Structure 1
Amino acid sequence: MSFQTIGILVVLVLGFIWAFIGIKVAKKVEKADDYMVGGRNVGVAFGAATLLATWVTGNTVLAAAEMSYSTGILGTIGYALTGGLGVLAFAPLAKKIRISMPQGRTVGDFFRHRFDKKNYYLFLIMLLIWDIGWLLTQGLGAGVLLESIFGIPFHTGLILTIGIVTLYVTAGGMLSVLGTDFMQTLLILAILFIFPAWVFSNAGFADVYTNIIHLAPDKMNLALPAGLLFCVVGPIMGIGEVFMDNTFWQRVFSLRPDKTKQTFIYAGLGWMFVPIAIGCLAFVAIGTGMKVDHPDAVAPLVVGHYAGKLGSVLFLSLVWACIASTVAALLNAVSAIFINDVYQVHINPNATDKQLIKVGKAVTVLAAVIAIAVAWSKPNSMMGLLLLLGVINAAYIFPITLGLFWSKTNRHGAFLGALLGSIIGLFIYGNGGFDLIFTKIQITTISWGGAFQGIIVGGLISLLFTVGVSLIQPERFNFRRLRNFESKEENIAEDKAKVLA
C-alpha cells in the first residue's frame, strides 16, 4: 500500500467518524436556535473543548511552526500570546454579551442593535471578507498538509477535507459541530504533545541547540526587533480575530450564563501550550539545516523526517482534526450570519424554523464551494494571509469593546474608526498599495510600511476615531435595548403577520 493511499484512508476513516457523529446528533435539530447556537446550556468542560477545537486550527499548527522558523524563539512566544491572550481578553466581554443579549445568536445582532445600519452593513461586508479569508487558510492548510506528507495532490486534499466537513455541518449545524468538537479536542491534545519529545529524541536535543547557536544564533535572540514587534502585534491580531469572529459569539450564546467567563479563561490558558509545543519542531529544521521550500510546511516536513511513517500518520490525524473542527465552525458561522442577519431581517422576517434551517443548509454548501474556489490557486504563505486579515481585525477591537462597555460610544465614530482603520491599515500593509491576496493595487511606494505596521496603525486609527468622536459628541445608549431586542422583533413579526392576515 502506497503512502499516498494511507493518507487518503486516514482522512476517510476520521471523516467517517466525524460524519457519523455529526449526522446522528443532527437528528436533535428542531429549531433554528439548535442550528445556529446548539442550545444555550453548554457547561465548562464541553465549552472549553469546543473553543479549543475551533481555535486550535490548521494555522495554529502550520503557521506557528512557520513563525518559529522565520523569527525564532520570539516567534514561538509571540504566537502563543496571539491566540491565548485573544481568548483571555474576550472572557469579560463574553460574560457581558451573555448577560446583555440572552437571546442573541450572532455578532450581527450586536451591531444591528447597538449601532446603526451603516455600521451593521459595513461589518457584514468585513466579516464576509474575513470569513472567506479564514476559510481560505484552512483549505490551504489541508491541501499543504496532505501534499507535503503523503504526496496527495493539493486540490484532492482540499476537496476531500471541505467536502467531508460540509456533509455533517449541513446536516446539523451547530449541534453537529458541538457533537464532534469534544472528540476532536481529545485527539488533538493526545497527539500534540507527543511530537516534541519524539522528534527531539531522534534529532538530538543537544545537537539541535548547538547547531542553532552556530548556524542561526539570531533565532535564539530574545531582543530580536522583528520578534519583539511580533510579540506586540500578534496579541493585537489575536484579540481582533476573537472579538470579530462569529464562531466565538455563537459559543457565548451556547454556554450557560454563569459559566461563560470561566470557560473562556480555561480555553485561553490551554491554547497557549499548543503553539509552543508545535513551534519547537521548527528549531529542529533550523538546527539540522533542513531545506524548507515552503515555511508553512516546516512542521510536517520535520515530523516526516524524524518520526517516520507512523509519526506522519499521527501528525496527519492531529492537523486534519484541527482543520476539520475549524472549517466546521466557520461554515456554520457563515450560515448563521446569513440566516439570522440577512435572510430573516431583510428577505423573510416571518420565516419559520423549518425555512431558516433549509436556507442555512443551502448557505453552508455555498460557503464550502466558495472556500474551495478561493483556495484553488494555492496562495504562498499562510502567515501572510493571517496578517492581512489581522488588519481588519485590529480595526474592530475598539468599536466592539467600547460598544459593549461604554454607553457614550458614538455610532459615527465607531463607523469611521472601523472603516478608516481598515483602509489605512491595508494601505500600510501593502507598502503604499492594497495587497489583496489575488491581486495588488499599487498606488505609491512607502519604505516604512509592512504587515506589522499596518495592524498597529489600523488599530490606533480605529481607537482615535472611536474615542475621539465619542468624547466630542457622546451618545447615551440604553443597554436594555440589547436585552429586549428579540421580544421587539417578535412583536414586529406578529404585527406584520396580522396585517397580512
Structure 2
Amino acid sequence: MKNYNYYMTGAITLGFSTAIISLLARWITANTILSSPEALIKYGLVGSIGYSFMGAVALLLFGFISLRIRTSYPDLRTIGDLFQVRLYKDGYYVLSFIVLFLGLDSLFMQAIGASVLFELLLGVPVWISLLFFFMYTFLLAGVGGMKWIHRLEGPALIFIFSAIIFIPMFFFIGEGATNIYQGIRLLHPYLLFTNNQEAFYFTATAMLIGFGQMLSDRATWQRLYMIDLKKVRISFYLTALVWSTIPLALGGMLMIVIYDHSFTETYSLLFELVKKIKPLLLSVIFFLFCFSTISSTMNAELHATTVHFVRNIRQKIRPDMSDKQLHKASYQFSGVILLVLLILSLFYNFDALQFLFFFGTLYAALVPVILIIVLSKRKISRLLPYSAPIAAIIVHISPIAEGPLSTIWWSFIISLGISFGSMLFAKRELFSD
C-alpha cells in the first residue's frame, strides 16, 4: 500500500494548465448554478455580474499572497499544517475544528445542490440518483484519492465549457439577441436597473465571503502546494479570469428563459431552462455540465475534508497511526459523511444565498485571523484563533446588525478588532524576509 502522502497529493506537480483546470474544477460548484438565478432575480444584472466577480476577486487576492505562503512555509501540505506551525495547541484545535465544520457545511451545500439538480434533470426518484452519485463519489474521491480526482478534472471542464459556450450561442442565434433584450426590457425592466445600491452592497459582501471561503478552503491549500512554485501566482490569476465568465454565462442562459414570460420562483428558472433546451445534444451537454460541476466539487471537497480530519485532527490524537490505518480511517470517514449527507439531502432544502450568508459571518470573521497567521512575523497570540468564533457568536446574539449583509460586515469588523488587539501583545518571531 502506498503511503498516505500519495493519497493526499497523488505525487502530482501542477503546471499552468493543470493548475487552472484543478482550481476551476474545485470552484465551479453546484452553489454557483443555484445561486446565480437568485442573484440575478434579487439584485438584477448588476448583482449577477457582481456575483461573477465574487470568486474571481477571491482567487486574485489568494494568488497575491500565494507565493508568500509557499516561500515562508515550504514544507506544508494542508491548511492544518499551517495551524500546527503557527498556533498554540488549543488554538490549533479551535481553528482545525472550525475548518472541518466549514468543510462539512460546504459538502452539505453541494449535496443539496445535487438533489435539486438531479430532481430537475432526471425522471427517477431523487434518492436513487443520489445513492449512485454518492457511491461514485466515494469510490473516486474517498478511495481513489487525489490521483483519480485529477484524472477526471480535465473531462469535467470540457463538459462545463461546452455547455456555457454552445447553449447560449444556440439560443441567441436562434431567437436573436435584440429580441431577448427587448423581452427582458419589457417584462423584467428591473433586471436592467444599474443604479442599485443594494446590488453593490451585495457584491462587496459576496467578495468578502468568497475571500473567507478561499482562505479557509482545504482543497485550495492542497492544490497550492501541488503547483510548481514558479507558476503559483499566475495560475491563480488566470483561474480568476476564467472563473468570472461562468456566472455570466449562467446569467445569459437564464435570460433565454425569462425574456418572453414571467416566472414563479428562482428554482423554476432552471426547470424552464431544461424544458427549453430542445435538441437532444444540447440536453445531454447540459446534463453533463451539471453532473461535472457537482461531481468535481464534491470530489475535491470530500477528499480535502477527509484528509484534514484524518491528518490534522485524528492523527494528532493518535500519532502512532500507520499508513494502512490512515487509509482505513479516510475510507471510513468519507463513507460515513456521504451516508449522512444522503439522509439529510432527502429531507432538507434551502435558499442557496440565505444559507451562504448565514455561514458567511464565520467566513468573514476568519479573514483577518488567517491573514495574520499567514503574513505576520510575530509570534501568534493565544487569543487570535478565538477571534472568529467570538465575532460570529456576537453578531448572531446581539442587535447591532440588521439583515444578513450588515451582519457579515459586523462579524468581519469585530473579528478584525479582536485580532489586532490580541496581536498587540505578541512578540516578533525569528524568521524574516
2:424 equivalent to 1:476: no
1:454-493 deviations in whole A, cap 9, x for unaligned?
221111111111123323x23223458xxxxxxxxxxxxx
Letter in 2 for 1:153: P
Q: Counterpart in 1 of 2:250?
A: 278
2:27 equivalent to 1:42: no
Residues 170, 365 of structure 1: 8 Å contact kept = yes
Q: Per the alignment, in what secondary structure is the counterpart of residue 261 of structure 1?
A: helix
1:286-341 deviations in whole A, cap 9, x for unaligned?
43234343x14523522422445443321110011011000000110111112211
Q: Counterpart in 2 of 1:366?
A: 336
2-structure distance, mates of 1:290, 1:378: 27
1:253 aligned residue (220, 225, 231): 225
How much identity, in percent, do the aligned residues show? 25
Letter in 1 for 2:309: F
1:200-234 deviations in whole A, cap 9, x for unaligned?
34444323322322333221112212211111111
Deviation at 1:73, TM superposition (A): 0.6
2:311 aligned residue (340, 353, 377): 340
Deviation at 1:121, TM superposition (A): 1.9
Q: Counterpart in 2 of 1:106?
A: 78
Deviation at 1:362, TM superposition (A): 1.7
Q: Counterpart in 2 of 1:298?
A: 269
In structure 2, the CA distance between the partners of 1:307 and 1:243, relative to structure 1 (3 Å rule), is farther
Spell out the pairing of 1:447-458 with structure 2 (5 A cutoff): 449-458=402-411
1:209 aligned residue (181, 187, 191): 181
Letter in 2 for 1:132: L
Residues 53, 244 of structure 2: 8 Å contact kept = yes
Spell out the pairing of 1:307-326 with structure 2 (5 A cutoff): 307-326=278-297
Q: Counterpart in 2 of 1:225?
A: 197
Residues 72, 218 of structure 1: 8 Å contact kept = yes
Q: Per the alignment, in what secondary structure is the counterpart of residue 360 of structure 1?
A: helix
1:9-35 deviations in whole A, cap 9, x for unaligned?
xxxxxxxxxxxxxxxxxxxx7221111
- Of 165-174 and 313-322, deviating more is 165-174
2:57 equivalent to 1:85: yes
2:4 equivalent to 1:52: no
Structure 2: which 5+ residue stretches go unaligned? none
2-structure distance, mates of 1:353, 1:101: 24
For normalisation by structure 1, the TM-score amounts to 0.81
1:58-97 deviations in whole A, cap 9, x for unaligned?
1122322331132211121111111111111111332222
Residues 100, 309 of structure 2: 8 Å contact kept = no
1:170-200 deviations in whole A, cap 9, x for unaligned?
2221121112112211221222221222233
2-structure distance, mates of 1:220, 1:114: 48
Residues 56, 241 of structure 2: 8 Å contact kept = yes
2-structure distance, mates of 1:280, 1:427: 40
Residues 68, 283 of structure 1: 8 Å contact kept = no
Deviation at 1:365, TM superposition (A): 1.3
Residues 144, 297 of structure 1: 8 Å contact kept = no
Deviation at 1:245, TM superposition (A): 0.7
Letter in 2 for 1:365: G
Spell out the pairing of 1:106-255 with structure 2 (5 A cutoff): 106-255=78-227
For normalisation by structure 2, the TM-score amounts to 0.93
- Of 363-372 and 298-307, deviating more is 298-307
Deviation at 1:409, TM superposition (A): 6.6
1:138-187 deviations in whole A, cap 9, x for unaligned?
11121111211333333333222222111111222112111211221122
Q: Counterpart in 2 of 1:327?
A: 298
